[in-house]
Amino acid sequence: MKKQPIGIFDSGVGGLSVLLEINAFLPNEDVIYLADSKNCPYGPKSDEQIIKLSIRNCEFLIANSCKAIVVACNTATAAAIEVLRSKFNIPIIGMEPAIKPAALNTNTGKIGILATKGTFNGKLYKDTSEKYANNIDKVVQIGDGLVELVENNMHNSEEARQLIFKYISPMINNNVDQIVLGCTHYPFFKSLILDILPEHIKLIDPSLAIAVRLKSVLKKAGILSVKPQGKLIFYSSGEINTLQILVKEYFQKVESIQKITLDTN
């Protein structure tokens, strides 16, 4: 089991931001990454649809021998994590909106959160907010259009710059000092965001915390890989161009990048 790959899925290429941290932190692990680009974005979909797609994504990864799965999508985590954990008998790690560290570190008592509609509507966001940030002012923003820009490799475009300015400025003007990136596609806008962010405002991306959590789960289960160097395999259910471009830009030890057809496509 130690030699089996870790499975990671997202609605598209956003989860590559999580894979980057996982690959850096656990370089011995083989990873299979599934981008469900055909059905991207998940954000506006119903919970029922997202659960169906997430089950199918897990079935694909498990059929490909994955020993654990990372749901590298806040939206899918929000809608489906409990169903996935009850249905499948391997460790399943989800994304958590990084509200806790933001709430703990704020000096102004105000935090900004950028996420999808699906994530804001989910129980996980509500529970985490109530538990850790009840007395904190939250400036929330749905990142409409951002996921699509990343999927089309346009995250450094003028259109992206304008949209980021529109979404982040109200947070800055409202005196937040922590901004949570609540969608795995959003780290691709990091440089555009940092361009307009005053130095005292911290940007929080939970990906590294997920990699740390994954390592501890694998270690506890006794299934950490002991290989010298892991390899990466990528699949997309839809458009493959952006996946190819980003994988080439960010990853080494890439075994293959393939387009596949999944059952409910």
Residue 147 or 171: the one with the smaller Cβ distance to ligand DGL is: 147
Whole-angstrom distance, CA of residue 38 vs CA of residue 115? 21
Can residue 75 be called a binding residue for ligand DGL (CB under 6 A)? yes
Q: Which residue has the tokens 């599934």?
A: 34
Can residue 146 be called a binding residue for ligand DGL (CB under 6 A)? no
Which residue number has the CB closest to ligand DGL? 43
Can residue 116 be called a binding residue for ligand DGL (CB under 6 A)? yes
Looking at 62-70, 71-79, 131-139, 213-221, which segment touches ligand DGL (CB under 6 A)? 71-79
Catalytic residues: 73, 183
Of the residues 6, 26, 70, 73, which one makes contact with ligand DGL according to CB under 6 A: 73
Q: What share of the chain is helix, strand, coil (3-state, %, to 5)?
A: 45, 20, 35
Residue numbers 159-218 binding ligand DGL by CB under 6 A: 183-185
Can residue 56 be called a binding residue for ligand DGL (CB under 6 A)? no
The phi, psi pair for 204, rounded to 5°, reads -115, 120
Residue numbers 234-263 binding ligand DGL by CB under 6 A: none
Residue span 3-42 as binding mask against ligand DGL, x where in contact by CB under 6 A, dash where not:
-------xx--x-------------------------xxx
Q: Answer whether 183's CB lies under 8 Å from 147's CB.
A: yes
Query: At 71, which helix (H) or strand (E)?
Result: strand 68-71
Residue 10 or 96: the one with the smaller Cβ distance to ligand DGL is: 10
Q: How many residues bind ligand DGL (CB under 6 A)?
A: 16
Can residue 119 be called a binding residue for ligand DGL (CB under 6 A)? yes
The type of residue at 120 is: F
Residue 138 tokens, joined: 């939250």
Can residue 74 be called a binding residue for ligand DGL (CB under 6 A)? yes
Whole-angstrom distance, CA of residue 248 vs CA of residue 234? 11
Residue 193 tokens, joined: 């965001």
Q: Shortest Cβ distance from residue 36 to ligand DGL (Å)?
A: 8
Whole-angstrom distance, CA of residue 109 vs CA of residue 175? 9
CA distances from 32 to 69, 78, 146, 215, 233 (A): 9, 22, 25, 16, 5
Which residues contact ligand DGL (rule: CB under 6 A)? Answer: 10-11, 14, 40-43, 73-75, 116, 119, 147, 183-185
